[in-house]
Structure 1
Amino acid sequence: MILDALKKRIFDKNEKFTGKWIRELPYVVWSLRTQPSKALAGNTPFFMVYGSEAVLPADLQFGAPRLAFKNIAEAEATRIEEIDLLKEEHLNSVIQSAHYQQTLCRYHDRNMRPRCFSIGELVLRRVLKTTGQHKLSPP
């Protein structure tokens, strides 16, 4: 996923992209960690680890309502509530993940044709050329 996202951000036919990937890597990783995932029951990986959603720079700059607290006690009460919610979300994510994996397994099994090979049978094997490839090329 990281390589695919990097390719989309740095690939330009007219310009060499050697060295650009290192500047783009933190942005790609951040975007993947703050993106809701179907496997995590619609939660972000950041939420599953830290118990609250990530605070984006735009939220800080424009004063998002979820960041405005009138006093410390209100903020502490909200944090305790979020910790309780996190336990529920972990359990929901485990259930959702199991359901998601079963769905993928059924889809895979439905679309796969079983093949049996015996010793001595001839098979066609494609040999890919490695000339002109770089580390972001498909294997």
Structure 2
Amino acid sequence: MSNRSTRFTPFFLAYGAEAVLPSDLDHDAPRVKAFDQDQTVEAQQDAVDLLEEDRETPIICFAHYQQTLRRYNERKIRGRILEVGDLVLRRTQSTKEKHKLSSPWEGPYMVTEVIWLGAYWLKDDNGNVLTNTWNIE
């Protein structure tokens, strides 16, 4: 079965030709019937000539597949602009004494200052300003 991202089978990517299965030989598959011993030398030379192209094609298909995935995922991302006074949650930095059902978020924190787009100073409920800036990205 061909790979979705490269459009080729792993066997083809490794050996440069599709595998002939024993069931193809037993049931006289069309490609087995079309095999001609006299043309194998010429077909082998053609395959060697096209080898570089056969190696580049999966790379191009894979790059196209990755670009399509990136476009799909970026479509779901919504940009956020925070202002002073907004309440936010922050991803937990330390996983010590946490278990798998613990919340990955801590807070709420209040935005006290916008340093630049995406970077903020936060303070907790007690009014303590955190020592490090917080980056929304």
> What TM-score do the two structures reach when normalised by structure 2?
0.51
CA distance in 1, matches of 2:4, 2:20: 21
Structure with the greater alpha carbon radius of gyration: 2
Normalised by the length of structure 1, the TM-score is 0.50
Question: Corresponding residue for 2:90?
Answer: 118
The verdict on how the C-alpha distance between 1:89 and 1:70 changes in structure 2, with shifts beyond 3 A counting, is: closer
**Residue in 1 that maps onto 2:44:** 79
Higher RCO (CA < 8 A, seq sep 6+): 1
Structure 2 vs 1, CA of residues 91 and 47 (structure 1 numbering), >3 Å: closer, same or farther? same
Aligned to 1:105: 70
Query: Which structure 1 segments of 5+ residues have no match?
Result: 1-34, 129-139
Q: Comparing both structures, which one devotes a greater share of its residues to helix?
A: 1
Q: How does 1:1-139 map to 2 (within 5 A)?
A: 35-40=1-6, 42-68=7-33, 69-71=35-37, 73-113=38-78, 117-118=89-90, 127=101
Question: How many equivalent residue pairs?
Answer: 90
1: distance between equivalents of 2:47 and 2:26? Answer: 23
State the superposition RMSD in angstroms: 3.3
The question of whether the paired residues in 2 share the 8 Å contact of 1:46 and 1:52 is answered with yes
- Identity across aligned pairs (percent)? 39
Partners of 2:16 and 2:54 within 8 A in 1: no
